Amino acid sequence: MNNLNKDIKKEVAQKVSKKINLKAALSLATGALFGTSVTTGAVGQTIEADEWQFDTAFLLYSEVDRVTAGEAIVAGTKTFSNDEVLNLKFTFDTLTGPSANGAIAQPKAQTFTRASGIGRYRTPEGETPLDDTFHDTRVQLNGQWTQPVSDNVTGSVGGHLSKEYDYLSLGLNGNLAYDFNRKNSTFSMGISYFSDTFTPEGGIPKPLSSMLVGDSNSPEWDDEFAKTRISASENKSTSDLLIGFTQVINRRMITAFNYSYSMVDGYLTDPFKVVSVLNAEGLAQDYIYENRPDSRVKQSTFMQAKYHFDDSLLNMVADVSYRYMWDDWGINSHTIDSRFIIPVGRASYIEPHIRFYQQSAADFFTPFVIEDQLPVDFVSADYRIGEMSAVTIGAKYGVALNGGNELSFRLEYYHQRPTNGGFEEPEALNGLDTTPVIDAIIAQVSYSF
């Protein structure tokens, strides 16, 4: 009887340990599987078990006075006995709330036509024009298959499908990782291709044409509005190459270096954005639809180091990374991201996070156009491709539950500060906030089982 009890206890202990091992091992491998990283090879332990592991999360992103987005993710990972890994991920998100239309604040109220061409909205004097009709829902599916190709080579292929009300995106990716130097070094290479189709309500506006503002119920409206449209939909394609090198430095430290090259071709303009045309005093005379080049080449270098401190520093894990990105639109950016995972007691941890971001403006970015600068070629007043800096600060708290399950909460504050970038403002804009800051809260709950 005693022996039987011992056997049962041993079996239960093995099962629990198997599940915990599985979780740790999967976490090492899932970077690639979730499409968030090139396959990094076997830097950890072997995957042992043959069962599904699920990661779920709900995120709320809410900007003060602007958009609110909710996003839910359910991801399942199954590891087969011969180290083959299947990952399936389902994402659902929804977006509502006002979004900047590109026009600049004025000392008097302004009226705009909704992107659909049906109805108008009015922006009070001194305020940044925001289109409050945005409402979108997106469903996304990702699948990734990873398996050993030979002793030191791991291969991975994946597919992506996402559908919004007015947007369809299809993608494929493939990765290879080669381990050498006793699996302390990994060289990896990945390619991906996305094909996107944009079908906005109201069609694609004619670049640089004037926004038609008037009574959308009038009998001539439809014909006049149609003259400002070029088509019902447009496409773009994105081809990415990612080359990575991972190096274990010692028992406590691992580093990664990436280079990426990305080519985007097709319709890269935002059909919802306009640019204010001002007279010499600075008063709006017209709003023209923005126009961006039909290709963009982005490159970036990325470096990351993780270090596991000892008892004297609370067994903390520091994760610090830096990215430098540049493109042929004249934008370059610096991103520093750091996280510190600090164990609290035996089963929980707290993870402070701080991120700094700074970008320069695209060559064709301008907050407004003065009448005598017309005609213009490429032009956009979208603050997201203008000069800006941003900071994210927050923390995550996670607790391990019975059977290797984990519950975590994340709360962060994101602050974006667009800057003028040297544009001289005409008199009428004096005293107006032409580079409004954006403050947002990011709240997330995750559960893994």
Partner 1 sequence: MKVNKTKVKTRMNVTLLSVCVVSLSACSSLGVEPWERDLLAKKEMALTSSPIDAALDDHIYFSKEASSGGKSFGGGGCGCN
Task: Tell me which residues in 257-276 interact with partner 1 (CB under 8 A).
Answer: 258, 260, 262, 264, 270
d(CA 27, CA 158): 18
Of 26 and 105, which CB lies nearer to partner 1 in the complex structure? 26
83 lines the binding site for partner 1 (CB under 8 A): no
Residues in 96-135 that interact with partner 1 by CB under 8 A: none
The DSSP code sequence of 83-143 is S-EEEEEEEEEEEES-EE-SPPP-SS-EEEE-TTSS-EEEE-TTS--EETT-EEEEEEEEE
Of 265 and 286, which CB lies nearer to partner 1 in the complex structure? 265
Of 278 and 381, which CB lies nearer to partner 1 in the complex structure? 381
Residue 128 tokens, joined: 């940044």
For partner 1, the binding residue among 133, 233, 304, 419 (CB under 8 A) is 304
d(CA 21, CA 87): 18
Residues in 205-264 that interact with partner 1 by CB under 8 A: 236-238, 240, 242, 246-252, 254, 256, 258, 260, 262, 264
312 lines the binding site for partner 1 (CB under 8 A): no
AA letter at 54: F
73 lines the binding site for partner 1 (CB under 8 A): yes
333 lines the binding site for partner 1 (CB under 8 A): yes
Of 106 and 175, which CB lies nearer to partner 1 in the complex structure? 175
Q: How far is the CB of 153 from partner 1 (least distance, A)?
A: 18
Residues in 353-412 that interact with partner 1 by CB under 8 A: 357, 359, 362, 384-385, 388, 390, 396, 410
For partner 1, the binding residue among 5, 64, 122, 182 (CB under 8 A) is 182
Contact 203, 232 (CB under 8 A): yes
Candidate segments 9-17, 19-27, 202-210, 366-374, binder of partner 1 by CB under 8 A: 19-27
For partner 1, the binding residue among 19, 22, 30, 103 (CB under 8 A) is 30
d(CA 180, CA 178): 7
18 lines the binding site for partner 1 (CB under 8 A): no
Polymer length in residues for the chain: 449
Q: How far is the CB of 373 from partner 1 (least distance, A)?
A: 23
Of 184 and 279, which CB lies nearer to partner 1 in the complex structure? 184
Contact 129, 112 (CB under 8 A): yes
User: What are the residues facing 409 on neighbouring strands?
Assistant: 397, 445
d(CA 209, CA 291): 10
d(CA 55, CA 69): 20
In order of 260, 274, 341, 446, the CA distances from 298 in angstroms are 8, 24, 32, 32
Residues in 142-171 that interact with partner 1 by CB under 8 A: 160, 162, 164, 166-167, 169, 171
Cis peptide before 375 (omega within 30 of 0): yes
Give φ, ψ of 326 to 5 degrees.
-140, 155
Residues in 43-62 that interact with partner 1 by CB under 8 A: 43-45, 55-57, 59, 61
Of 94 and 210, which CB lies nearer to partner 1 in the complex structure? 94
For partner 1, the binding residue among 210, 279, 335, 348 (CB under 8 A) is 335
Q: How far is the CB of 70 from partner 1 (least distance, A)?
A: 11
19 lines the binding site for partner 1 (CB under 8 A): no
Residues contacting partner 1: total by CB under 8 A: 103
Contacts of 188 (CB under 8 A, 6+ apart): 38, 39, 40, 41, 175, 176, 177, 178, 242, 243, 244, 245, 246
188 lines the binding site for partner 1 (CB under 8 A): no
Q: 365: which DSSP letter? A: B
Q: Which of 398, 393, 382 is closest to 435 using CA atoms?
A: 382
For partner 1, the binding residue among 96, 133, 184, 279 (CB under 8 A) is 184
Coil/strand/helix, residue 198: strand
78 lines the binding site for partner 1 (CB under 8 A): no
Q: How far is the CB of 325 from partner 1 (least distance, A)?
A: 4
C-alpha of 301 from chain center: 17
325 lines the binding site for partner 1 (CB under 8 A): yes
Candidate segments 70-78, 215-223, 279-287, 368-376, binder of partner 1 by CB under 8 A: 70-78
Q: Which of 127, 97, 95, 92 is closest to 112 using CA atoms?
A: 127
Scanning the structure block, which residue is given the tokens 């008063």? 283
Q: How far is the CB of 125 from partner 1 (least distance, A)?
A: 27
